[in-house]
Amino acid sequence: MKRSPIGVFDSGYGGLTILKEIRTLLPQYDFIYLGDNARTPYGPRSFDTVYEYTLQSVKWLFSQNCPLIILACNTASAKALRTIQQLYLPEFDKEKRVLGVIRPTAEIIGNYSSSKNIGVLGTKGTVKSESYLIEIEKSFPGIKVFQHACPMWVPLVENNEYNSEGADFFIKKDLNLLLTKSSEIDAVLLACTHYPLLLKKIKKFLPENIKVISQGNIVARSLQDYLTRHPEIDSKCSKNATLEFYTTDSPEDFDKHSEIFFGEKVNSKHTDL
């Protein structure tokens, strides 16, 4: 039978932190990962550019026979997902599905806060889109959300500086800026799939009473639930437990850096979009 894997997309390596959790929960499925490393970061780019790059990536994953794609990138989910779902799919690919990471996270995040004050850390693009404010308000009206953009964090991670003293400086600075917005924040969401790599340092610089939430497990559970509720999509996803990795940049670099995100060695191939 022809392989029809679930596609997982990110601008670079960050989505591997999501794929890792998805695969742990759904090991029987086939997956194909695409990292647009040649054009990362997406965070500072315009709405139109992120849409164009994301759509190209989605079309490429569809060409690999994916019936379902997860945009494992908050920036792409914030700036491109709705247009893809509402305009592109109904016109060109009615049978296929593209899901993001913002809604599943927003639907659950309120449960982590007793003070009803949540901090959201993301890229400039995610913060500016206000997607989390809008989506959290739908599921948890009355919860206060304080956002802060951390434009240096993705480059620190992508350049393998996530454990350096330089990283300490920017992490401390950004966390302090977030906490000056409200002294009542008791839960901080890492709304960028690169940030879990900085988790140790983030915890070190935050007061102990503040919970830090990564999205991997939340997105994985939400996908599991989606597949149960949509047997017509689930039956299109092949299940031979295979994994493939593609990057728009150098496969050597991708293989070298991806282990820290994915937790195991990967063997990637190059593709142009």
Smallest gap, in angstroms, from Cβ of residue 196 to ligand DGL?
Answer: 10
Q: Shortest gap between Cβ of 127 and ligand DGL (angstroms)?
A: 10
Marked catalytic residue, from 66, 73, 150, 237: 73
150 or 237, CB closer to ligand DGL? 150
> Which position among 54, 105, 123, 147 is part of the footprint of ligand DGL (CB under 6 A)?
123
Q: Please say whether the beta carbons of 171 and 192 come within 8 A.
A: no
Residue 126 contacts ligand DGL per CB under 6 A: yes
By CB under 6 A, what part of segment 205-264 binds ligand DGL? none
With binding defined as CB under 6 A, does residue 10 bind ligand DGL? yes
Q: Three-state SS for 244?
A: strand
- One-letter amino acid for residue 157 of the chain: V
Give backbone dihedrals phi and psi of 32, rounded to 5 degrees, phi first: -130, 125
Q: Please, which residue, 13 or 140, has the CB nearer to ligand DGL?
A: 13
Q: Which residue type sits at 124? A: K
Q: How many CB atoms lie within 10 A of CB 95?
A: 9
| 172-176, long-range: CB < 8 A, 24+ apart | 172/205, 174/121, 174/148, 174/150, 175/202, 175/205, 175/206
Look up 73 and say whether it is catalytic: yes
Taking CB under 6 A as the criterion, which residues in 28-87 touch ligand DGL?
Answer: 40-43, 73-75
Question: Does 105 interact with ligand DGL (rule: CB under 6 A)?
Answer: no
- Pick between residue 221 and residue 239 the one whose CB is nearest to ligand DGL: 221
Choice between 93 and 155, CB closer to ligand DGL:
155
Closest CA to 185 of 136, 213, 145, 218: 145
Catalytic residue status for 150:
no
* 247 three-state secondary structure: strand
Instruction: State how far the Cα of 241 lies from the Cα of 80, in Å rounded to an integer.
Output: 29
Q: Under a CB-based contact definition with an 8 Å cutoff, are residues 264 and 16 in contact?
A: no
Compare residues 68 and 154 and give the one whose CB is closer to ligand DGL.
Answer: 154
Instruction: Give the residue among 149, 146, 156 at the shortest CA–CA distance from 119.
Output: 146
x/- binding map, residues 171-210, to ligand DGL, per CB under 6 A? ---------------------xxx----------------
The residues binding ligand DGL (CB under 6 A) are 10-12, 14, 40-43, 73-75, 123, 126, 154, 192-194
Active site residues: 73, 192
